[in-house]
Amino acid sequence: MKIAIVFGGVSFEHEISIVSSIAMKDVLKNELVYIFLDENREFYHIPTDVIKSKLFSSGDYKKFDKLSIAKNGFYKKGGLFSKEKPLDFDIALTLMHGGDGEDGVVASLFEFYNIPYLAPRVEACVVSSNKFLTKGYASSVDVNVVDYKYFTKGDEVKVDEFPVILKPVKLGSSIGVSIVKSKEELDYALDVAYEFDDAIIIEPFISGVKEYNLAGTKVNGEFKFSILEEPQKAEFLDFDKKYLDFSRTSKAKEIDLGEELNTKVKEAFKRIYNNLFEGSLIRCDFFVIDNEVYLNEINSIPGSMANYLFDDFNALLNEVASNLPKRKHIPISYEYVNKIHSAKGK
């Protein structure tokens, strides 16, 4: 199976997408095709044997073939008098973190142009890319979430008790996130967050809380789980520290929480994944507080696809790619219009 890695995009996490995508060369045994979306939303075919991060920071990627997107795939120009040629691949793997990828923009394109892709469908992107909507969704499927308050730019922000953690609603990778320990720090943290988004959520900051990561997917109705990982981190992982994590290819160390908690984490993951995330491989980050499991966030396109959490990531990805959800065919018959015309004698 030939896989097209689609990466880049107009996003604060653009560079992370580049690092994450290049890492796939060391993970996947499939033949890979690289499709880059630049800041002007132009697609380029980047040869797999020359891809490196410097191509993009220097602008040298523009030396390669520009692509157009149309029905059933991507196309590149042929000769002077020849038609455009289709770019050969079997399935697209979206590795755009943040905007364009996780928010559903590219998923919408793929749906519209009938391009098979491995990533969350549009509805899943909408839910998981917005922390406010994620909280509501999790609660509706009986998964615990930490208490929170939601504010939009211009609102009066009141905090009853410090410390708190303040997050832009639509960003990942800890961009714009602050731990606020006093009222004096609040205005600055708000200024930082509103640089990136027009809405925020504020949660109590729980020092020393245990966090665990579980990735997984569903194939033909059966859940496939990764190992459970306890990420090694300081009190708070900022963007720069997390950035280094997106090129991970070495296997993570498994943690065993005991039968009861292991089961609770997996059950929470199942309720989150539900039918909404079919066709994708996601990672959920959970807190454990007083022996209960709470969803922290959904990583709908995790860094390096969370390959480091699986025993045989390559086989699993190919299994998902071979069992994507089918779109329901909607016939257009014009039966209603014809009845109207017939009734009017036209």
**Cα(202)–Cα(177) distance, integer angstroms:** 10
Architecture of domain 149-204: 2-Layer Sandwich (3.30)
For residues 58-77, b (16+ Cβ closer than 10 Å) or e, as one string? eeebeebeebebeeebbbbe
Residue 261 contacts residue 291 (beta carbons within 8 Å)? yes
Residue 143 contacts residue 271 (beta carbons within 8 Å)? yes
pLDDT in single tens digits along all 346 residues of the chain: 999 999 999 998 999 999 999 999 999 999 999 999 999 999 999 999 999 999 999 999 999 999 999 999 999 987 666 788 999 999 999 999 988 999 999 999 999 999 999 999 999 999 999 999 999 999 999 999 999 999 999 999 999 999 999 999 987 667 889 999 999 999 999 999 999 899 999 999 998 899 999 999 999 999 999 999 998 765 554 545 554 555 566 778 999 999 999 999 999 999 999 999 999 999 999 999 999 999 999 999 999 999 999 999 999 999 999 999 988 888 999 989 988 888 876 5
pLDDT score at 175: 80
Reported CATH class of domain 127-144+207-321: alpha beta
Q: Which residues pair with 67 in a beta bridge?
A: 43, 76
**Cα(247)–Cα(22) distance, integer angstroms:** 8
Domain assignments of the chain as residue spans, ordered by start:
3-118, 127-144+207-321, 149-204
pLDDT score at 42: 98
The pTM is what?
0.91
Topology of domain 3-118 in CATH is Rossmann fold (3.40.50)
Burial class (CB in 10 A: 0-12, 13-18, 19+), 162: middle
Q: What is the three-state SS of 168-221?
A: ECCCCCCCCCEEECCHHHHHHHHHHHHCCCCEEEEEECCCCCEEEEEEEEEECC
